[in-house]
Each structure stands twice: as C-alpha cells, then as structure tokens.
Structure 1
Amino acid sequence: MSETKYSKIKSWIKSNILDGTFQPYQKISSESELMKQFNVSRHTVRLALGELVSEGWLYKEQGSGTYVSDRSSRNNLYNLVDSKNIAIITTYISDYIFPSIIRGAESVLSKEGYQVSLFSTNNDHEIEKRVLETVIAQRFDGVIVEPTRSAISNPNINYYLNLESLNIPYIMINAFYDELEPISVTLNDMCGGFLQAEHLIKLGHRNILGFFKTDDIQGSKRMKGYLKAHRDYGVTIVPQNIITYNTSEKEGTGLLEKLDDILINSPDKVTGIICYNDELAMKILDVLRQRNLQVPDDISIVGFDDSFLAEVSEVKLTTVKHPKSELGEVAAKLIIEMVNNINEPKAESQAVNSYVFEPSLVVRSSTKKIGE
C-alpha cells in the first residue's frame, strides 16, 4: 500500500513538471502539505522526493525546501552527443492505414540520420498524456503527432504548450487541435465527404445513409461534405440517415444493429451508404450479406481512405484516396525543417507552413447507377 502511495506522489509531481505547471526553480509543496494531500506518512513523502532528487527532477536547498530542477541544460548536453531523435505518435500503429503513414515518415527521417520512436495512444486521452510525459522527459528533437479524439476538448493541451516552451517542435497529422493552431499535414476531409455523396447523387441515389465517427474532427468534416453535396444538388437531407458514433462504439455491435434496424424499418428503400472509412465499410458489407442484399445491385457503398481493404473483399470498394505514405513523407520533411530552424539564426530560418492534400475518388465495383 505504501509503495502505491509513494508512486502516486512521484507521478503527480512529475506530471506537474512535464505539463509545465511546475516550472524550473519553482518551490514545490512542503513535506507536510504533501502528507496531508496524499494522506501518507512523512517517510513516504521523503522516499518519493528523495528518488525525484536522485533522478534529477528536483533539488533541495537546506532550510528552504524542495525545488524543480532546470533539466533543459542537462538534456541539451545529452542531445549534443546523442541527438536526432523524433517521436511519432499515432492513434494506432499496427493496423489499417497507419503502418503506411509511419513507413512514409520513417523513410525520410532515416535518410537524414534520425532515430524514430513510435508511440500509440489508442485514441485515448489518458494514454496520450503518458506518451507526452515520456516524450518531454526524454527531450526528443521533434514530434509528429496525430491528435487523440480531435473533435472534443483535449485535457492535455498543457503538455503541447510545454513542448513549445521547451522549444521542441511538433507537427500534427490527419487532424489538429484547433486552439493550438499548429503546423499540420492533413487531407481535405470536407471535400472527401462531398466527393463520396456527390458520386452517389450523380448515379441517381437519393436515400443515402451516412456513417460518421464524430469524436475525431475528420468525421465531422466528412459529414459536413455529405451535407453540402446534398444541398448543392438539391437533394432532401433525411436527418435519420445520418448515423454518428465515437471511438468507444467502433468495435461494438450497436452501430451495425442501427444499420440493420434502418434496413428493415425504413419507409423508403436505402440505395446508398457512405462510410467514415474502409474499415467500417467492410463491417457493413457483412451486414448486407446477412440480409441477402447485393452490392452494388441492391445497395451502393462508398468507403474512405483507399486502404488495402478496398481491394481484398469480393466487392472492390469505391473509396476516397488518402495520401497515406506521402502524408508521412511530407510531415517528416516539415519536422526536419522545424528542427533545423531551432538551430539556425532567426534571419536564416525557413518559414514552415501547413500542408493540405486534396482528395480524389477511386471508383470500383461497389457503386452503380440507379436502374442500370
């Protein structure tokens, strides 16, 4: 029990240092205050503080108290010897389109002599916090990061602000936290959602379902494109045809049960389905098979990302192209420029700007014209 409590004290102090709440040379809470805050003995507090001092996070001044160390000079000295380290943080690492994005970035970074460390947040804010603490503690030269659940308020903004104060450049991919206005490499998701809906509308479809994952900003923007295409082509928007979900619902059956319910009970026949990504499209294809509905004869379906999944099923998927490895390459080139700018005199540094890829539609056999 004592071990758990002492670890909590250590973690709390380190988190406050890493998110910038405790600044170098700032005096931290007294032993008595920490005893009261964590309901522990003085021995437990001293054990935690002693380890943080020996690890270089804190230092003591006799008769005055305990203060936060300035670790920057120490880490900069370390980086002169063993530098060129980039952290790549994505929501997922080993599945779907993420290996391609990571390979694209690694290919550029390795050519320039950078070591790459990979981290995954599993699209979870608590994991993102732990990853950012590791990245700040180890003082990487730069960070390429995919935001976690980018459409909702982020509790870890302080960590990104601390990266800025520590002069550690970061670049965001696929999405970005709007309040930070960071350099980013993204796809025009609104345009992608428009292309999905426009394609089906031009084929004569009018009753089109749209599935959008809306705790990531990409899903909200794709939904915006879906709505814009309906408006631009004068097609009535049916509110019940818009189905939203979040990360926690991604693996459950509830989403597919909603689809099943609509297919059974909708007063008008659904002829087209737009999916947030190809991964979801594959699951929807399974539901359609169970209902003995043929794609594209009974229902047309459009995915997003042009992943490897688009061509592995028996129905080749019409989908929106995502740049994948090219996005990773561009992000890597930009972070290298930003790292170089840190070491250049201001007059010689190059301006680094965000980059937006424009999407295109890849038409395969999962869509067809109504009545064809």
Structure 2
Amino acid sequence: MEEQKAKYEEIADWIKERVEDGELKPGYRIDSEHQLCALFKVSRQTVRHAISVLENDGIVERRRGSGTYIKETINVGEKEVKTMRVAVITTYVQEYIFSAMLQEVEHTLSVAGYEMQIALTNNTIEKERLVLKNILEKNMVDGIIAETTKSALPNPNLDIYRKIMKRGIPVLFVNSFYKELDAPHVSMNDKLAGKMVTEHLLKCGHRKIAAIFKADDGQGHERYKGYMEALMEADIELKSKHIVWIDTDTIRNMREDGGWILRRIMGCTACVCYNDEVANHLVALCMEQGMRIPEELSVMGIDDSNLATFCEVPLTSARNPIRDVAKVAALEMLEMMKGMPVPKAAELDPEIVNRSSVRIINSI
C-alpha cells in the first residue's frame, strides 16, 4: 500500500506539477500563504514548510513584501523548465519599419506559446551591453532574436553574446549580423537592394548617380556593394566624390546641416539613398534649397516604409519584405530552441515600388 504523503509534500508537488505543465511560468507569483491554507485546509506552518522545500529545490523565491514567485531559471528534478520567453533586441520600436517587424515576431511566437520580451538599444553599444548583461545574469529567456547595433564597427559586446551562446541560449540576428559570431541571420538581401535601385535609375536613363550610405551599419556597406556592382556592370565610372557616408547621428541632423551633402552630389541627376528616412530628408533638403524633385534630382529610397508613401514627393523605393523577414526569423528561432539546425543565412529579395521621385530621361 502506497504511503500517504505529508500535507506539505502534497502542496509542494502540486506547485511543481503546475510548473511542469506550464501553468505557472518563471516569474509568476504563486498563491499566497492564506490562499494555500484555505485550499488545502492546513495550517500556515504547513504551507511555510512546503514553500521552504520548494525554495531549497530552487523552484521558488520569496520577495519581501511582495510574495513568493517561480524563479526565472529553474529545474524540476532533472528536467529544465523553459521560461517560454524569447528576448527580441531591437534598435527602436515605433520608428520606421520596426513596429511591423515586432508585430510579426510576436504573432508567430505567441502561436507557439512563447512570450516576446522586448529590449531596446537605441542603436548604442552601451545600451546593448546593459541588455545583454541583464539577460546573462538573470538567464530569463529561452532564445534571443537580435537586431545588430552599428554592425559595421568593432563591437565590444561580442564576448557577452559568446557567453550567452555557450550557455545554450540560441541567438539569431535579424536585418544585419556580426560577421565575427557563428550565428544565423535573417534579412533582406541588402546587396541586391542596392543593385536594384541603381539599375532602375540606369534604366531610366541616368548616368551620373550619386549615393548616400550609412557607414556604421553593415546594411549600408552591403547596399553600397550593390550600387557599385550595378555601375561597374553598366561600364560607368564610380566617382567617390559623389558618394556620401553618414552615420546614425548625421541622419538626425541632415535637415539642419545638410549643405555639405548637396555639394557632394552636385552635378548628378539622381541619388541612391541608404533608406527611405535618408531619402525623405534629402527631398526636404533639396526643396528647401529650391531644387525640384524629380526634375532636377531623382531620388530613390530603400525599404518602402510609410515614409516613402508620405514623403512630400512620394518615393520610388525597394520594398523590404520586413514581415516575411520577421516571420522567418521567429520560425527559425522556434526550431533552434528545439535543437534543430537552421540555415546560416536567409536573405529575402526586395522589389521595386514605383512612385513619383524618379524622372525618366530615356530608358534603355
């Protein structure tokens, strides 16, 4: 005959079962001592004994004045209990195309029963480091989908990424990637985007094509490669004096301090821009100086964001399939958390969206 469990053991086992079933997730508060006393019809001393057992097993932690919570990282017997959370590290949230990306990731993860935990870097390595150290110390997620921070520059945070990955937490990069890390990435094919917008201008008869690219992000370098390849294949001389390199801070100040940019692109009939935000600023800057778009300067963006539609002169742009990128990233992360292999790189193709910002000189 099976020996009857002590009441404190019944309470402890009941809570363990709820954790294993996923009803009580890491970070959740368990029933109060008063509630457990009423539920099991036992004394407060018995409840406290059960909680002490769970505390010693590393399943719960008491927080003074707040209650008792399931620990962020726990083990029940030999089985590791998942947090059912994925950290999504992104540079921004509401700005530009990031809102659509986060919506798609959240939807795909939630269908699989996972919560999305958002962390912002504001595209600074200092904030990225704080976010990563917090994840490393608390061990509070099952996986990380990260947008890189200034991926074209040396990054002192790669050591923390390596520690996280060594701990068995899968990391996947979105939009860009750090070449020094052995981790998969999902993005638009940025080189192809740069090439396609340049070829579109060439087909419209433009031969003097300037460009503005972002120097501190890997995407800017890839888009520059595509621009350069398109010109070389068309047997057009690549003139460095017409190529402008900017960074995150420069973009914010383009309208106020953009005279030097106009001087660099002077004499050109068209300009390829790193993205729609840069193109939007360039259009405004030109119009403030009395330049007509596209009659005097054709402008092309990349990403096909809302800014392309609402620009004073609606922008012809290369559509970034950002929702598809986000969905693929989330699905691959789900596979990685199961221990399944995923492609080293998944790069989705853009497509040209025609609007009003490009003048046809003569097509070829």
When normalised by structure 1's length, the TM-score is 0.74
The residue correspondences of 1:80-91 to structure 2 (distance < 5 A) are: 83-91=83-91
Larger radius of gyration: 2
Match of 1:180, SS state, is coil
Is 1:303 matched with 2:294? no
What is the one-letter code of the residue matched to 2:94? Answer: S
Please say if 1:199 is aligned against 2:200: yes
* Separation in structure 1 between the aligned mates of residue 133 and residue 198 of structure 2, nearest angstrom: 41
Q: Contact 1:93–1:119 (CA<8 Å) still a contact in 2?
A: no
Q: Which residue among 321, 324, 329 is the counterpart of 1:323? A: 321
The aligned counterpart of 1:244 is 245
Which residue of structure 2 aligns with residue 162 of structure 1? 163
Question: Which runs of 5 or more residues in structure 2 are unaligned?
Answer: 1-57, 59-70
- Any idea what the Cα deviations from partners look like across 1:145-202, whole Å, max 9, x if unmatched? 0111101111011111101111000100111111113111011111110111111112
CA contact (8 A) 2:243 2:264 kept: no
State the partner residue of 2:270: 272
1:200-246 residue CA offsets vs partner (Å, 9 max, x unmatched): 11211112110000110000111111111110001121211000011
Instruction: Give the Cα–Cα distance (whole angstroms) in 1 for the partners of residues 341 and 90 of structure 2.
Output: 25
Q: Distance in 2 between matches of 1:255 and 1:304?
A: 22
In 1, Cα distance between equivalents of 2:362 and 2:264: 22
- Which residue identity does 2:328 align to in structure 1? V
Cα pair distance change 1:74/1:111, threshold 3 Å:
closer
User: How far apart are the structure 1 equivalents of 2:281 and 2:360?
Assistant: 23
Per-residue displacement from partner, 1:2-42 (whole Å, max 9, x unpaired)? xxxxxxxxxxxxxxxxxxxxxxxxxxxxxxxxxxxxxxxxx
1:142-153 to structure 2, matched below 5 A, reads 142-153=143-154
The answer (yes or no) to whether the contact 2:148–2:174 under 8 Å persists in 1 is yes
CA RMSD of superposed structures (Å) = 2.1
Please list the CA deviations of residues 347-366 of structure 1 after superposition, one character each: whole Å capped at 9, or x if unmatched.
xxx32113111122112221
The residue that corresponds to 2:41 in the other structure is: none
Alignment-derived partner of residue 15 in structure 1: none
TM-superposed CA distance for 1:74, in Å, is: 8.3
Please point out which of 334, 342, 354 is paired with 1:363: 354
Aligned residues: 289
Q: Are 2:262 and 1:260 equivalent residues in the alignment?
A: yes
Q: Per the alignment, in what secondary structure is the counterpart of residue 126 of structure 1?
A: helix
Normalising to structure 2: TM-score of the pair? 0.75
Distance in 1, Cα, partners of 2:326 & 2:225: 25
Q: What are the equivalent positions in structure 2 for 1:68-147 lying under 5 Å apart?
A: 75-77=73-75, 83-139=83-139, 140-147=141-148
Structure 1: which amino acid aligns with 2:109? L
- Runs of 4+ in structure 1 displaced over 4 angstroms? 78-82
Identity of aligned residues (%): 34
Deviation at 1:81, TM superposition (A): 5.5
For structure 1, list consecutive stretches of 5 or more residues without a partner in the other structure: 1-55, 57-72, 342-349
More helix by share: 1
